[in-house]
């Protein structure tokens, strides 16, 4: 190695360099998401934030059954929504600004995670150790600007994911910092750092269930990065593992209505899905491979991916995806094995950082992509935390190639590669953020990319009807019903749109079908009752309107007045 690569830098120079890297990461992230701050509430933002009365009372949310006890495993994230509302009401700019700040913090944490990996005893002797900052910059800049992160950042309610990722990565960073602190540090300083690990872990476990694997990530770091010193070195992970048990304990308590302990466990380990566990796992092979593809070639992003359930390992897509995942996992194992000091021909210790990143990907994916069925088979925000490990491994690979090409210019090449890639990814992120602008743009995009999925067409039709574009709304709702003919709510929406379009006979047909599916739907009762009262079926129409008045929510003031007026004639 060239001697100048080992020259130490003064503390002030190193601090200035780190500050410059951090500033560059923040500026690149701000550029990539510069058009995200004005987006509307979309999809689950509507019931979970905009129309959620619980978050409008910060004090009562923090201490009432509407708060902690309603969603204990996600309490921290929803508490931040309540804080957002307290400070700025339903102005989406405030929500987006917090989401972006969380994402930028995650990017900076990834930078420090990479730096700490190269300070670890089993990596610090790597010939690439002098490139730790350029490598860390490449990983963080790529993460900060990659368009696959948009669903966790621009989609407001998915702060649940990005905030959980922040606390997860923070806990790992603090743990590594604690383990790497020298003996010259006071016991108070070391104790405070470890207390920070415990606090970050507890908050993570109360933000989203996917953080359950945090203790395993710490064990992976111990095994791959830190100096082996017997089994006792794993003891500091034990308190964090015990804290992680609050997640399954809470889920089991919420499933306590099940008739038996076995049924309770079964209900607790699936989310609104009756899909077989092995079918879900086989399907997740394909989904995980698609996440990898989106990280490499970020095209075809979609809020509501069209994913078919796979029922056999012999399905070509399952076999091919499993082979890709096996090769990735095998690469991680090979890198870890060959970088052992006692290996016959050990490779550079930097391989352990890449192995750590690959292991991170599989650990962070394991809760949502294993044998715990979730009703929605694929969501891009689920790749947010797992991608941290892959960006780390990717940066190691690029820096290794740069050093092979030119040892003297490797740092410069790595930084320039990070800048170039970040600008390229930013252009795709800016374009994707345009799609997240409002309900119309996101569902138009999704319906075009998932033409055989019911939900995008139904939501698109609903949005179009609300905007008064009735011909387009009718076409979208008819497309939705062609996919799922038995969906009563779609029938009701179509009937209402046809009624507004001046097609009473078609509207009556759809509303009668909807009434069979949803006999106590206030909207169906009101629309069909009003229509029949106006077109010769007064007796039946009046009966439907009287039923509507019995069950309609008190908040439907205009509807109740209109129904009463028809009955009074």
DSSP, residue by residue, 171-237: HHHHHHHHHH--TTS-HHHHHHHHHHHHHHHHHHHTT-GGGGGHHHHHHHHHHHTSPP--GGGGGGG
Which whole number is the average pLDDT over 442-463? 98
Whether residue 380 is predicted with pLDDT greater than 50 in this model: the reply is: yes
pLDDT at residue number 4: 40
CA atoms of 22 and 208, how far apart (whole Å): 27
For residues 444 and 260, the model is more confident at 444
**Which residue is it, tokens 């590594």?**
176
pLDDT at residue number 68: 66
Whether residue 66 is predicted with pLDDT greater than 70 in this model: the reply is: no
> How would residue 243 be classed by pLDDT, with cut points 50, 70 and 90?
very high
pLDDT at residue number 2: 40
The H helix count followed by the E strand count for the chain is 26, 0
> How would residue 3 be classed by pLDDT, with cut points 50, 70 and 90?
very low
Whether residue 247 is predicted with pLDDT greater than 90 in this model: the reply is: yes
> What's the CA dihedral at 80, 85, 90, 94 to 10 degrees?
-60
- Which residues face 271 on adjacent strands? 374
pLDDT at residue number 6: 45
Closest to 519 (Cα-Cα) out of 543, 485, 483, 555: 543
- Kindly report, residue by residue over 405-425, the tens digit of the pLDDT: 999 999 999 999 999 999 999
Is this prediction's pTM over 0.85? yes
As assigned by CATH, the class of the 440-568 domain is mainly alpha
Q: Is 160 helix (H, G, I), strand (E, B) or coil?
A: helix
CA atoms of 297 and 236, how far apart (whole Å): 40
Spatial contact of 385 and 367, defined as CB atoms under 8 Å apart: no
What are the start-end ranges of the E strands in 99-198? none
**Which residue is it, tokens 């206030």?**
522
CA atoms within 13 A on the CB side of 11: 0
Which whole number is the average pLDDT over 34-42? 97
Written as six digits, the tokens of 295 are 């990280």
Spatial contact of 148 and 294, defined as CB atoms under 8 Å apart: yes
Q: 99-108, 326-335, 343-352: which has the minimum mean pLDDT?
A: 343-352
pLDDT at residue number 9: 58
**What are the domain boundaries of the chain?**
11-435, 440-568
- Kindly report, residue by residue over 511-539, the tens digit of the pLDDT: 999 999 999 999 999 999 999 998 888 89
CA atoms of 117 and 133, how far apart (whole Å): 11
Which whole number is the average pLDDT over 432-452? 98
Percent of the chain with pLDDT over 70: 94
Give Cα separations from 234 to 67, 226, 363, 395 (angstroms): 35, 11, 18, 28
| Structure letter (DSSP) for residue 523 | H
Whether residue 8 is predicted with pLDDT greater than 60 in this model: the reply is: no
Q: Please, what is the average pLDDT of the chain? A: 93
Q: 106-110, 461-465, 540-544: which has the minimum mean pLDDT?
A: 540-544
- Kindly report, residue by residue over 154-189, the tens digit of the pLDDT: 999 999 999 999 999 999 999 999 999 876 678 899
For residues 327 and 228, the model is more confident at 327
pLDDT at residue number 257: 61
pLDDT at residue number 69: 66
What are the start-end ranges of the E strands in 330-481? none
Whether residue 108 is predicted with pLDDT greater than 60 in this model: the reply is: yes
Spatial contact of 390 and 139, defined as CB atoms under 8 Å apart: no
pLDDT at residue number 251: 85
Whether residue 559 is predicted with pLDDT greater than 70 in this model: the reply is: yes
CA atoms of 431 and 271, how far apart (whole Å): 32
Which whole number is the average pLDDT over 451-460? 98
- CA 506 from centre of chain: 41
Spatial contact of 378 and 450, defined as CB atoms under 8 Å apart: no
Whether residue 119 is predicted with pLDDT greater than 90 in this model: the reply is: yes
pLDDT at residue number 236: 94
Which whole number is the average pLDDT over 79-101? 96
- Kindly report, residue by residue over 460-471, the tens digit of the pLDDT: 999 999 999 999
Which whole number is the average pLDDT over 82-97? 96
Q: 58-72, 362-376, 529-543: which has the minimum mean pLDDT?
A: 58-72
Whether residue 5 is predicted with pLDDT greater than 60 in this model: the reply is: no
Spatial contact of 178 and 116, defined as CB atoms under 8 Å apart: no
- Kindly report, residue by residue over 67-88, the tens digit of the pLDDT: 666 778 899 999 999 999 999 9
Q: Is 8 helix (H, G, I), strand (E, B) or coil?
A: coil
Whether residue 244 is predicted with pLDDT greater than 70 in this model: the reply is: yes
pLDDT at residue number 7: 47
Whether residue 394 is predicted with pLDDT greater than 80 in this model: the reply is: yes
- Kindly report, residue by residue over 207-222, the tens digit of the pLDDT: 999 999 999 999 999 9
**Which residue is it, tokens 């078609």?**
506
CA atoms of 545 and 537, how far apart (whole Å): 12
Q: Is 374 helix (H, G, I), strand (E, B) or coil?
A: strand
Whether residue 382 is predicted with pLDDT greater than 80 in this model: the reply is: yes
For residues 203 and 269, the model is more confident at 203
Q: 195-209, 215-229, 372-386: which has the minimum mean pLDDT?
A: 215-229
Those residues with Cβ within 8 angstroms of residue 452's Cβ, 6 or more apart along the chain or in another chain: 306, 483
pLDDT at residue number 266: 76
> What's the CA dihedral at 104, 105, 107, 108 to 10 degrees?
120
Whether residue 444 is predicted with pLDDT greater than 80 in this model: the reply is: yes
Which whole number is the average pLDDT over 474-502? 96
């Amino acid at each position: 190695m060239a001697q100048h690569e080992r020259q130490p830098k003064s503390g002030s120079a190193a601090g200035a360099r780190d500050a410059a890297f951090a500033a560059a990461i923040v500026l690149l992230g701000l550029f990539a998401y510069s058009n995200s701050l004005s987006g509307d509430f979309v999809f689950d933002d509507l019931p979970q934030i905009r129309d959620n009365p619980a978050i409008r009372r910060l004090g009562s949310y923090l201490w009432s059954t509407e708060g902690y006890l309603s969603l204990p495993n996600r309490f921290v994230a929803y508490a931040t929504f309540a804080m957002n509302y307290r400070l700025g009401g339903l102005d989406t700019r405030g929500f987006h600004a917090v989401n972006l700040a969380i994402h930028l913090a995650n990017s900076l944490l990834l930078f420090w995670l990479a730096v700490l990996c190269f300070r670890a005893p089993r990596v610090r002797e790597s010939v690439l150790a002098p490139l730790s900052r350029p490598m860390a910059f490449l990983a963080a800049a790529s993460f900060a600007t990659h368009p696959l992160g948009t669903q966790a950042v621009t989609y407001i309610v998915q702060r649940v994911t990005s905030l959980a990722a922040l606390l997860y990565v923070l806990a790992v960073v603090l743990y590594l910092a604690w383990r790497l602190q020298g003996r010259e540090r006071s016991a108070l300083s070391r104790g405070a750092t470890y207390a920070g690990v415990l606090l970050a872990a507890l908050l993570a476990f109360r933000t989203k269930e996917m953080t359950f694997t945090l203790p395993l990530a710490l064990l992976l770091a111990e095994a791959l990065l830190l100096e082996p010193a017997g089994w006792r070195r794993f003891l500091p992970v034990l308190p964090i593992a015990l804290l992680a048990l609050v997640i399954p304990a809470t889920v089991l308590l919420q499933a306590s209505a099940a008739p038996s302990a076995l049924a309770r466990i079964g209900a607790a380990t699936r989310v609104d899905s009756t899909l077989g566990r092995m079918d879900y796992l086989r399907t997740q092979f394909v989904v995980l491979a698609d996440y990898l593809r989106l990280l490499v070639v970020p095209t075809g992003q979609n809020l509501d991916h069209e994913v078919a359930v796979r029922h056999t390992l012999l399905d070509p897509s399952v076999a091919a995806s499993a082979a890709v995942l096996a090769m990735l996992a095998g690469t991680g194992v090979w890198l870890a094995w060959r970088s052992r000091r006692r290996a016959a021909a050990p490779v550079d210790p930097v391989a352990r950082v890449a192995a750590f990143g690959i292991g991170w990907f599989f650990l962070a994916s394991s809760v949502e992509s294993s044998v715990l069925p979730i009703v929605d088979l694929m969501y891009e925000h689920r790749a947010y935390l797992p991608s941290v490990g892959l960006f780390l491994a990717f940066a190691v690979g690029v820096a290794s190639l740069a050093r092979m090409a030119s040892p003297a210019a490797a740092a410069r090449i790595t930084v320039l590669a990070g800048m170039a890639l970040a600008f390229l990814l930013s252009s795709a992120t800016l374009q994707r953020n345009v799609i997240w602008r409002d309900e119309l743009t996101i569902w138009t995009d999704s319906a075009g990319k998932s033409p055989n999925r019911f939900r995008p067409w139904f939501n698109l039709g609903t949005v179009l009807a609300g905007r008064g574009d009735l011909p387009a709304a009718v076409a979208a709702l008819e497309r939705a019903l062609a996919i799922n003919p038995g969906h009563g709510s779609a029938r009701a929406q179509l009937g209402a749109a046809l009624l507004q379009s001046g097609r009473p006979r078609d509207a009556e047909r759809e509303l009668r079908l909807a009434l069979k599916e949803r006999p106590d739907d206030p909207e169906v009762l009101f629309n069909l009752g009003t229509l029949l009262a106006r077109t010769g079926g007064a007796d039946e129409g009046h009966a439907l309107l009287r039923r509507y008045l019995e069950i309609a929510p008190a908040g439907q003031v205009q509807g109740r007045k209109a129904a009463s007026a028809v009955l009074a004639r």
